[in-house]
Chains A and B, each alone.
Chain A
Amino acid sequence: MTVSNVSVVKRLFRVREFGLLAIIALIFVVMSFASPYFLTWSNMRAVMLSFSVEGIVVIGMTILLIVGGIDLSVGSVVCFSMVVGGALFLAGLDPWTASLIAIACCGFIGFLMGQCVTRIGLHFFIVSLAFMVIVRGLCLLITKGTPQSLFSLPPAFKFIGQGSLGPVPFVIVIFVVLIAVFDVLLRRSTFFRRVYYTGSNEKAALFSGVNTNRTKVICATICGTLSGVAGVVYMARFGAATPQFGVGMELSVIAAAVIGGASLNGGAGTIAGAVLGAALLSLVTSSLILLNVPPYWQDIIRGGILLVAVTADHLLNTRKSKG
Chain B
Amino acid sequence: MPEPMLSVRDVSKRFGAVHALSNVQLDLRAGEVHALMGENGAGKSTLMNILGGVIQPDGGQIQLKGNPYVVDGPAAAQARGVGLVHQEIALCPDITVAENIFMAETNSRGGFWMETSNLNARAEQALAGLHPVPATALVGDLPIASQQIVEIAKALTLNCDVLIFDEPTAALTEIESNALFSIIRGLKARGMGIIYISHRMAEIFSLSDRITVFRDGAFVETLTTAETTPEEVATRMVGRPLLDLYPPRSSRPASAVCLSVDGIADGHLVKDVSLEVRPGEILGLAGLIGSGRTETVLAICGLAPRTEGRIRFDGRDVQQADYRASIRAGIVYLSEDRKGTSVFLDLSIAENISALDLRSVSGSLFIRSRAENAVAEEMRERLGIRCSSVAQQVRTLSGGNQQKVALAKLLAVRPRVLFVDEPTRGVDIGAKAKIYAILRDLADEGVAVVAISSELPELIGISDRILVLHEGRVAGEVSGDSMSEETVMHLASGLGPAPTETRHH
Contacts and interface: CB of A to CB of B under 8 A. Distances in A.
Interface of A: 184, 188-190, 193-194, 196-197, 200-201, 203-211, 267-268, 321-323
B355 A211 contact: no
A207 B341 contact: yes
A189 B366 contact: yes
B233 to A, nearest CB: 29
Contact of A197 (B15, B18, B347): B347
B342 A322 contact: no
Chain A interface helix/strand/loop/mixed:
helix
B346 A267 contact: yes
Nearest to B354: A193
B25 to A, nearest CB: 26
A201 B362 contact: no
Contact of A322 (B16, B303, B351): B16
B356 A201 contact: no
Interface bracket on B: 20 to 34
Interface of B: 15-18, 303, 323-324, 326-327, 333, 335, 337, 340-347, 351, 354-356, 358-359, 362, 365-367, 369, 395-396, 409
Nearest to B298: A207
B245 to A, nearest CB: 28
Top 10 nearest A-B pairs (CB, nearest first) are: A188-B366, A208-B355, A203-B341, A190-B358, A200-B344, A209-B324, A209-B327, A200-B346, A267-B346, A207-B341
Contacts of B323: 206-207, 209
Contacts of A188: 365-367, 369
Contacts of B303: 206-207
A115 B326 CA distance: 26
A271 to B, nearest CB: 15
B187 to A, nearest CB: 35
Given A190-B367, A209-B324, A201 B341 contact: yes
B16 A323 contact: yes
A205 B343 CA distance: 8
A115 B346 CA distance: 27
Contacts of A200: 344-347
A184 B366 CA distance: 9
B177 to A, nearest CB: 27
Nearest to A202: B341
B351 A208 contact: no
A267 B344 contact: yes
Contacts of B358: 190, 193-194
Nearest to A198: B344
Contact of B344 (A201, A211, A322, A323): A201
20 contacts: A188-B366, A188-B367, A188-B369, A190-B358, A193-B367, A194-B358, A200-B347, A201-B340, A203-B341, A204-B342, A205-B355, A206-B303, A207-B333, A207-B342, A208-B355, A267-B347, A321-B396, A322-B16, A323-B15, A323-B17
Nearest to A199: B346
User: For B340, B358, B362, B369, which residue has the most chain A Cβ atoms within 10 angstroms?
Assistant: B358
A270 to B, nearest CB: 13
A190 B365 CA distance: 8
Given A184-B366, A204-B341, 7 more contacts: A188-B367, A194-B358, A204-B342, A206-B303, A207-B341, A267-B344, A321-B396
Contacts, number: 77
A267 B337 CA distance: 19
Contacts of B343: 201, 204
A197 B344 contact: yes
Given A188-B366, A189-B367, A204-B342, A321 B18 contact: no
Residue from A201, A207, A211, A321 with most neighbouring chain B CB atoms (10 Å): A207
A322 B15 contact: yes
A88 B369 CA distance: 46
Contact of A210 (B346, B355, B369, B409): B355
Nearest to A211: B324
Contacts of A207: 303, 323, 333, 335, 341-342
A268 B354 CA distance: 18
Contact of B355 (A197, A203, A321): A197
A189 B365 contact: yes
Contacts of B16: 322-323
B345 A201 contact: yes
Contacts of B359: 190
B342 A323 contact: no
A196 B337 CA distance: 20
B10 to A, nearest CB: 24
Contacts of A196: 344, 347, 351
A203 B340 contact: yes
Contacts of A203: 337, 340-341
B15 to A, nearest CB: 6
A200 B342 CA distance: 12
Contacts of A208: 355-356, 409
A267 B324 CA distance: 22
B411 to A, nearest CB: 13
Q: Which of B354, B355, B362 has the most CB of A within 10 A?
A: B355
